[in-house]
Amino acid sequence: MKEIPKTTSSILISVIGESKASPTNEKYAEQVGALLAEAGAVVVCGGMTGVMEKVCKGAKSRGGTTIGILPGSNNVDANKWVDYPICTGIGDARNAIVVQAGQAVIAIGGSYGTLSEIGHALSANKRLVGLNTWDLDTNRLNSKHMVICQTAVEAVEAALKF
């Protein structure tokens, strides 16, 4: 009788960032997505535009897998490179879930929603990597920190080092 294969646990990495991305951040996002896919990691993101779209596009360019955790209730809101759109219907509170879902978090660029996710990631003791993102107030970071990287390669290496 044939054995049903158990799932070999996937590594999920959350990528957070601005929905209206600068060309630089779009490029970083696409590179990060491609590198995560090459490393066999699954991309989790908010499923919308900007950094979220480009990181999914990058992952799909290397045959990777992408999950989008959406604020609304309609899966057509997902960008076209999201394999699995998870509609939540809970609005911006879904930011906390985007962060919870990853074993590490990479922040690329980012506006206010990204700032909330950085806070949630630090609260939840997630490994947090930053690429051209919020410059955090070092007086308040105590023992925790965000690993600051200069390239997509560095960011993905730092995220997967655990």
Build a one-symbol-per-residue string for 99-138: x at contacts with a copy of itself by CB under 8 A, - elsewhere: -xx-x------xxxxxxxxxxx-xxx---------xxxx-
Provide the minimum distance between the beta carbon of 84 and a copy of itself in the complex, in angstroms, as a whole number: 6
Long-range CB contact pairs, 90-99, < 8 A, 24+ = 92/116, 94/46, 94/69, 94/70, 95/46, 95/120, 96/120, 97/69, 98/14, 98/16, 98/44, 98/45, 98/46, 98/69, 99/14, 99/16, 99/124, 99/126
Q: Which of 22, 24, 40, 144 is close enough to bind a copy of itself by CB under 8 A?
A: 144
Provide the minimum distance between the beta carbon of 159 and a copy of itself in the complex, in angstroms, as a whole number: 16
Build a one-symbol-per-residue string for 47-86: x at contacts with a copy of itself by CB under 8 A, - elsewhere: ----------x--xx---xxx-x---x-x----xxxxxxx
* 36 lies in the binding site for a copy of itself (CB under 8 A): no
